[in-house]
A and B are shown apart, each in its own frame.
Chain A
Amino acid sequence: MSIEFSGKLKEERALFIVIPLLLLHLILISLQVEHPGGSLLFRNWVLLASAPFLEVSASIHRAAAYAWTNYVVLRGARTQNDLLQKRVEQLTLREDALRQMEVENVRLRQLLSLKETVPLETVGARVVGRVPDYLANIVYIDRGADDGVKANAPVLAATAVVGRTILVSRFNSQVQLITNTYASLGVMVERTRSPGVLSGSGQPLLSLDYISNSEQVEPDDVVVTSGLDGLFPKGLRIGRVVQSQRGKSAFRVIRVEPFADLLRLEEVLVLLTGSVGESRGAG
């Protein structure tokens, strides 16, 4: 039986070779051909292939976290007392669930009020994954081309700008956060109307460049989008100045802390239309 099987395998050897060869050629092509969106086909295929895994892992993580906090841990502590202990346990469970709903409610209300304020078409999305190295400052969301998301679409959190989409597949997208080393956007200081460029450096604080030494930018000044980069609508909040001092060149050295908590993003808003314009009458 085993001799027959190995004989059959030898006969079908060509089949076992041709399939990997054909796959290799397809990968070779995808490394050279661009997707209509501008990125390499291969990158799009990888993003598309990873979408179901990211969704599943996010769901498993949520379910496991829920089971752990509401069943496993508490069960170990519920052996001593009778009805009162059980009652306390039930009330604690209910309180935890209500607290989570309240936090999510506040977050979603803020998102909704921002959605109403921003006069552009938007879609809500959940953050379903991050690259393993937090300094890379890239996250994945569960909205893609099928939901109307395009590349270079601005992404906002409940209160402020968090980044833009850089790679979009059918079902999910890759978002470059504003703290990413390669991120930069056109901004202005809201109080003085001084225009500049805000850049990420992989660190939690952002660098605000090209503000002249003669400008009176102070700590706690709010930085908003200027709309001059053609990507972000004007007037969206980004962060506040935490450090401002005269620079050795003609420009000030200014550090900005983002309003959004970029390490704990859960829900975001993606702008679907790309036109630049006033968002809150901040002009």
Chain B
Amino acid sequence: MKYLFLAVSSFLAIVAQMIAGNNFFLFNFLDLSLILIAYWAFYRNRTEALFVGSLTGILLDAAFGWPLGYNGFSKTLAAFAIGQAAKRFNLDGFGVRFALISAASFLSSLTVSGLFILLQRSTNTLYLEASLIQSLITGVVGVLMLSLLDSYHKVQANRAG
């Protein structure tokens, strides 16, 4: 059941981004899949976050029409980076979370660019510029969404207590 939820949530994150991006310009610069990976790494299981990264990455590749594996590779790497940071540092602060999510998003984009350069020998500097904007927006939205989640958990805990 857990893994079904993992797969479905990955798919829905991609679909939600495609729909939102089609209707609201700003959502084109939001990496919802990375926020999902961060959620999984912070609140659930760091190892499972790797698989969330792989799956969402491959779904993204399929959605973009690229050869499968580029985003799979980059999102897995980003998930690993987030997981390792979550293991070693206290991530309760907004600033730390923002820095981590932004850095992970930019790392993911940089990795995809690097793979394109290495394997297909093509470059696109516009992609990197857009990735920088994407990493900032994803960082902000990610922090907001995770804070909302924290508040919701607190409310639930108070009600149960």
Pairing of A with B? yes
Task: Sample 6 A-B pairs with CB under 8 A, ordered by A number.
Answer: A21-B54, A21-B76, A25-B73, A28-B68, A29-B68, A29-B119
Count of interface residues, chain A, beta-carbon cutoff 8 Å = 19
Main SS class of interface, A? helix
Is the pair B73, A18 in contact by a Cβ cutoff of 8 Å? no
Q: Which of B69, B79, B87 has the most CB of A within 10 A?
A: B69
User: What is the total of A-B residue contacts with beta carbons within 8 Å?
Assistant: 56
Q: Are A18 and B80 touching (Cβ within 8 A)?
A: yes
By secondary structure, the B interface counts as helix
Known: A13-B47, A18-B50, A36-B121. A29 touches B84 (CB 8 A): no
A residues with a Cβ closer than 8 A to B are 11, 13-15, 17-18, 21-22, 24-30, 32-33, 36, 41
Pick the contact of A25: B46, B54, B83 (CB < 8 A): B54
Q: Which residues of A contact B79 (CB under 8 A)?
A: 18
B42: shortest Cβ distance to chain A, in Å?
A: 14
Instruction: Tell me whether B119 and A25 are in contact (CB under 8 A).
Output: no
- Residue contact B77 to A22, C-beta cutoff 8 Å: yes
Q: Mark B98-135, 1 if CB is under 8 A from A, else 0.
A: 00000000000000000100011100000000000000
1/0 per residue, CB under 8 A from A, across B48-84: the answer is 0011001001100000000111101100110110011
B70/A29 in contact, CB under 8 A? yes
Chain A residue at smallest Cβ distance from B76:
A21
Q: Which of B67, B79, B84 has the most CB of A within 10 A?
A: B67
A41 CB contacts on chain B under 8 angstroms: 119
